[in-house]
């Protein structure tokens, strides 16, 4: 007797955005949207702004999302997400959600990667990679945030499968490989080597010719931060870490830190929605 195996419906999405120059302005050159991945382009006064959307309403085990972003020579661009992304519980035996983002920044170009928070649910399964390729004189300011359960909702992460990787190359040379891995019980989050019982973490990175010059201003901005913070800079790169008991205090510290790194420019409006 043949047994019917039912495959769960999974979200598939692909987004490609290419930006170029028209005179002194940064403009859209090419756009491809497939499945649940979409982009919108609000009018802004300075940087060209792209807002990414996942219309599936969240990410589950087995979902497959691919994003490719190309910032051409001399362009200035900001990429932000419409809202926080939710990574839901995976069913036993489900593969991890496959999330890939590749960002290429051309000669003399400046890009910002500013997605909102990634909210992780108990027993989620995530394999995510952010790959950034910079020209020798290109600049990038980026952020990645992880929320281990919504504390205001009484949520707790007991176990998860998480692989979250950031790789940055400048002129083809690997200058940053940052990886977070959690397989199974989440008790490691309570250890000093983990999150020291905090439930929200963020990494801010900046690669630019003047990255080191922002370090003192960043540290000064965090003197009264409602979270634990730390930052260092070397060889044209700045890395900062934040841990906080909850998402609200983490977001407050993130905004305080981004302000001096963005020369006081307001965050994308979707951050305020």
| Cα separation of the two ends of the chain | 55
Is the distance from CB of 202 to CB of 254 less than 8 angstroms? yes
pLDDT in tens, 48-79: 999 999 999 899 999 999 999 999 999 999 99
Residue scoring higher pLDDT (230 or 11): 230
**According to the model, what pLDDT value does residue 243 have?**
94
| Tokens standing for residue 154 | 């009484």
Confidence of residue 164 (pLDDT cuts 50, 70, 90): very high
pLDDT in tens, 107-139: 999 999 999 999 999 999 999 999 999 999 999
**According to the model, what pLDDT value does residue 247 have?**
93
Confidence of residue 154 (pLDDT cuts 50, 70, 90): confident
Neighbours of 238 (CB within 10 A): 22
Helix/strand/coil (H, E, C) string of the chain? CCCCCCCCCCCEEEEEEEEEEECCEEEEEEEEEEECEEEECCCCCCCEEEEEEECCCCECCCCEEEEEEEECCCCEEEEEECCCEEECECCCCCCCEEEEEEEEECCCCEEEEECCCEEECCCEEEEEEEEEEECCCCEEEEEEEEEECCHHHCCCCCEEEEEEEEEEEECCEEEEEEEEEEEEECHHHHCCCCCCCCCEEEEEEEECCCHHHHHHHHHHHCCCCCCEEEEEEECCEEEEEEEECCHHHHHHHHHHHHHHHCCCCCCCHHHHC
Residue 223 CB partners (closer than 8 Å, separation 6+) = none
Confidence of residue 157 (pLDDT cuts 50, 70, 90): confident
């Amino acid at each position: 007797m043949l047994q019917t195996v039912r495959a769960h419906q999974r979200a598939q999405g692909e987004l490609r955005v290419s930006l170029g120059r028209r005179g002194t302005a940064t403009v859209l050159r090419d756009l491809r949207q497939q499945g649940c991945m979409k982009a919108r382009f609000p009018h802004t006064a300075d940087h060209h702004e792209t807002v990414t959307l996942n219309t599936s309403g969240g990410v589950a085990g087995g979902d497959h999302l691919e994003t490719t972003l190309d910032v051409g020579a001399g362009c200035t661009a900001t990429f932000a997400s419409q809202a926080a992304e939710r990574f839901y519980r995976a069913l036993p035996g489900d593969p991890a959600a496959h999330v890939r983002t590749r960002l290429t920044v051309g000669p003399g170009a400046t890009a910002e990667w500013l997605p909102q928070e990634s909210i992780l649910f108990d027993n989620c399964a995530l394999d995510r990679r952010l790959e950034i390729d910079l020209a020798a004189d290109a600049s990038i300011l980026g952020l990645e945030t992880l929320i281990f359960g919504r504390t205001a909702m009484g949520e707790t992460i007991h176990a998860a499968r998480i692989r979250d990787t950031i790789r940055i190359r400048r002129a083809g040379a690997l200058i940053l490989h940052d990886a977070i891995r959690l397989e199974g019980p989440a008790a490691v989050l309570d250890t000093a080597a983990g999150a020291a019982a905090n439930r929200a973490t963020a990494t801010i990175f900046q690669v630019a010719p003047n990255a080191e010059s922002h370090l003192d201003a960043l540290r000064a901005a965090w003197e009264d931060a409602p979270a634990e913070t730390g930052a260092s800079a070397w060889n044209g790169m700045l890395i900062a870490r934040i841990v906080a008991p909850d998402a609200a205090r983490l977001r407050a510290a993130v905004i305080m830190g981004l302000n001096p790194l963005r020369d006081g420019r307001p965050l994308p409006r979707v951050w305020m929605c």
